[in-house]
Amino acid sequence: MRHKDDSKREAITNAAIELITTAGFADTSMSKIAKAANVSPATIYVYFENKEDLLNQLYLMVKREFSEAMLAGFHDSLSVEAGFKLIWENSCRYMLAQPTRFAFSEQFANSPLVNRVSREEGSGYYQPVFSVFERGKREGIFKDISLDLSIAFFYAPLMLLVKQHYSGDIVFDRELQQIVFEITWDALTI
């Protein structure tokens, strides 16, 4: 009996993310993925149940990668300020370093193709971020607003700017990043 070949699985996921990001999910056929991964179309079905399952697994993979990058170097002994800045900069750096992953993630942020289960599992990765905000509120540093609001002002402008960076509308360099971080801090702190 042959063993399952991890390199095949990886070739498939890489090809899939690349193609889906470029052309969209609907215009990325299983055949095209197979061809790009140097594999038979049928082989994809050895590793994934169907096209939707493939997408959901990719989504979780990308989300996990992102959350890991975002939390690199983070631990609870950090001060709120330090932790907040670390997470913001990790996020920013990763988004700028991984155009494909970022674009993929954006594309399915609100897609009905990603099922509830995957989405919930995906959002579970952000737990540590939530705690920083809670601590910041308790310590009287942050405004006393709901978590959802905090997240909205923390991530939404950043992500929009990264998108504009990729579309060539702006150059999101270190200097600009610093400014954005300061506005964000301004917005959320008392």
Partner DNA sequence: CATGAATGAGCCTTCATTCAT
Partner DNA sequence: AATGAATGAAGGCTCATTCAT
**102 near 165, Cβ under 8 Å?**
no
Crossing angle (nearest 10°) for helices 51-70 and 80-97: 130
Task: Calculate ∠ Cα 14-26-164, nearest 5°.
Answer: 70
CB of 104 to DNA, least distance (A): 16
Alpha-carbon span 185 to 181, nearest angstrom:
6
User: Binds 82, which of DNA, its own copies, none (CB < 5 to 8 A, cut-off by type)?
Assistant: none
Using the minimum distance from each CB to DNA, give the nearer residue, 84 or 108: 108
Which positions from 24 through 43 interact with DNA, judged by CB under 7 A? 27-32, 39-43
Q: Under DSSP, is residue 57 helix (H, G, I), strand (E, B) or coil?
A: helix
Give min distance, CB of 138 to its own copies, in A: 19
3-state per-residue secondary structure call for 125-189: CCHHHHHHHHHHHHCCCECCCCHHHHHHHHHHHHHHHHHHHHCCCCCCCHHHHHHHHHHHHHHHE
Query: Cβ of residue 165: shortest distance to DNA, in angstroms?
Result: 31
Residue closer to its own copies by CB (options 135, 143) is: 143
Nearer to DNA by C-beta: 29 or 111?
A: 29
Interaction site with its own copies (CB under 8 A): 22-27, 106-107, 110-113, 143, 145-146, 148-149, 152-153, 155-157, 159-161, 163-164, 167, 169-170, 176, 179-180, 183-184, 186-188
Instruction: Using CB under 7 A, list all residues that contact DNA.
Output: 1-5, 8, 27-32, 39-47, 50-52
